[in-house]
Amino acid sequence: MRAGDRIALVAPASPFDRATFDRGVEQVRALGFTPVFEPSVFARRRYVAGSVEERASAFASAWRDPAIAGVFAVRGGYGSAQLLPRLDTDEMAAGGKVLLGSSDVTAMLSHLTIHCGLVAFHGPMLVHLAAGNAGYDREPLLGQLMCSRPYGEVAAGGVEVLKPGRARGPLLGGALTQLAASLGTPFRFDPPRGFVLLLDDVDERPYRLDRMLEQLRQAGVLSRAAAVVCAEFPGCDEPEAGLTARSVLADVLGDLPGPVLFGLPTGHAAGPLLTVPLGVDVTVDATGKGRLVVEEAAVA
C-alpha cells in the first residue's frame, strides 16, 4: 500500500456509533490513505450492520474494485461468518488486497488465509483507530502494510513465556470463539502442520476457553501447531475463583511440544493494538524473553 491509496471501510459484523466512525475516518486520512464507504455501512438490522445481503455485497464490491487497495473492518461483534457463503472464494483469492480486522472478523481473515491462500492482517479496526494513539500502534500498522520487506520483531512489552522453545511457521488464527465456531463448516479453520497458532478473545469465562481449546484439540488443530502465541485475553479472569485466562491457557497448552507465549497486545488488549500478518512465516522465540519475529514480507 502507498500514501493516497483508497481504503474501503466495511461493516461485516455489528453496527457502530456514528461519532466513533467519523473519528476513525479522520485517522485513516491521518495515516495518509483515502477512506471510502457505501451508504449501506450505516445500515442496522437487529444486532448486525444491515442485512447479510447488504454486507456481503458491500464487501464483494470493494474487493473486486481495482481502485481499492485495502479493506478495513469498522468493528467486530457478530455477523462476519454470515457473509462467507455469499462470497466467491475464487474471486477473493484473485483479489490480493489488504484486509485488516480482528475479533469477529477472524471468520473472514481465516477464510482468506486458509482457503484463499492470501495474507491478511490481524489488528486494529476503525473503532480502534478512532481512539488514536490509545487505540493502536501506528508504526507496526504502517510497517506491515506499506513495506515489502520482512517486518522483523514485533516489539511488545509484557509478553510472557508460558512454555519455552523456538519454532517457525506460518502465523494463522485469531479469535478463539470464531476458530472453534468454524469447525464442521465449509469454512473451517484447517491449518497445515507446523503452523504458529495465534489465539485471542475477550470476556470469555475460563471454562469456556478450556472448552473451545478442547474442541480445537479434538478436531486435530492443536496437534498441528508448532507454537502458540496468545493475546492478552482481557475480561477472561475470575479472580474470586482464583482462575485466570493465563493459567488456563498455560495448563491446557502445556502438553504441546512447541513454545507458548502470552500477552501479545493484538485483537483485544488493554492498550494500543499491534498489527500482525496472518499467512506468512514467523519465528516464536521463547528461549529467553518472549519474541515474535516476522520472517517474510506480508505485502509485495
Tens digits of per-residue pLDDT, 28-50? 999 999 999 999 999 999 999 99
Q: What is the mean pLDDT of residues 47-75?
A: 97
Would you say residue 142 lies in a domain? no
Q: What is the mean pLDDT of residues 81-87?
A: 98
Select from 86, 102, 136 the last residue of a domain: 136
Same domain, 78 and 166: no
pLDDT in tens, 183-215: 999 999 999 999 999 999 999 999 999 999 999
On the question of pLDDT at 182 being above 90, the answer is yes
On the question of pLDDT at 112 being above 90, the answer is yes
pLDDT band at 149 (very low <50, low <70, confident <90, very high): very high
> CATH number, domain at 22?
3.40.50.10740
Same domain, 76 and 180: no
At which residue does the C-alpha cell 528461549 appear? 287
Q: What is the mean pLDDT of residues 158-184?
A: 97
Same domain, 244 and 269: yes
How far is it, in rounded angstroms, from Cα 152 to Cα 294? 5
What's the confidence (pLDDT) of residue 155? 86
Q: Find, among 198, 209, 218, the residue nearest to 237 by Cα.
A: 209
> CATH number, domain at 210?
3.50.30.60
198 neighbors 231 (Cβ within 8 angstroms):
yes
Same domain, 21 and 94: yes
Select from 136, 161, 194 the last residue of a domain: 136
Q: What is the dihedral of CA 210, 176, 124, 105, to 10 degrees?
A: -150
What's the confidence (pLDDT) of residue 300? 87
Would you say residue 1 lies in a domain? no
On the question of pLDDT at 134 being above 90, the answer is yes
How far is it, in rounded angstroms, from Cα 196 to Cα 230? 11
pLDDT band at 150 (very low <50, low <70, confident <90, very high): very high
Task: Please state, as a whole number, how many other Cβ atoms lie within 10 Å of the Cβ of residue 79.
Answer: 23
Same domain, 171 and 252: yes
Q: What is the mean pLDDT of residues 94-110?
A: 96
Would you say residue 259 lies in a domain? yes
Would you say residue 299 lies in a domain? no
Helix ranges (DSSP H) in 158-205? 176-182
How far is it, in rounded angstroms, from Cα 98 to Cα 114? 15
What's the confidence (pLDDT) of residue 75? 98
Q: How many structural domains are present in the chain? A: 2
Would you say residue 122 lies in a domain? yes
How far is it, in rounded angstroms, from Cα 38 to Cα 136? 25
Same domain, 220 and 267: yes
Same domain, 124 and 163: no
Q: What is the mean pLDDT of residues 117-136?
A: 97
Same domain, 51 and 132: yes
Residue 180 belongs to domain spanning: 152-294
Same domain, 162 and 279: yes
Select from 81, 111, 136 the last residue of a domain: 136
Does the CA dihedral 170-175-180-183 come out positive or negative? Answer: negative
What's the confidence (pLDDT) of residue 95? 84
What's the confidence (pLDDT) of residue 156? 86
Q: What is the mean pLDDT of residues 100-129?
A: 98
Same domain, 132 and 175: no
C-alpha cell at 248: 488456563
Q: What is the mean pLDDT of residues 113-136?
A: 97
Angle between helices 245-252 and 206-218 (to 10 degrees): 20
pLDDT in tens, 229-260: 999 999 999 999 999 999 999 999 999 999 99
Summary mean pLDDT of the chain: 97
Would you say residue 146 lies in a domain? no
pLDDT in tens, 252-296: 999 999 999 999 999 999 999 999 999 999 999 999 889 999 999
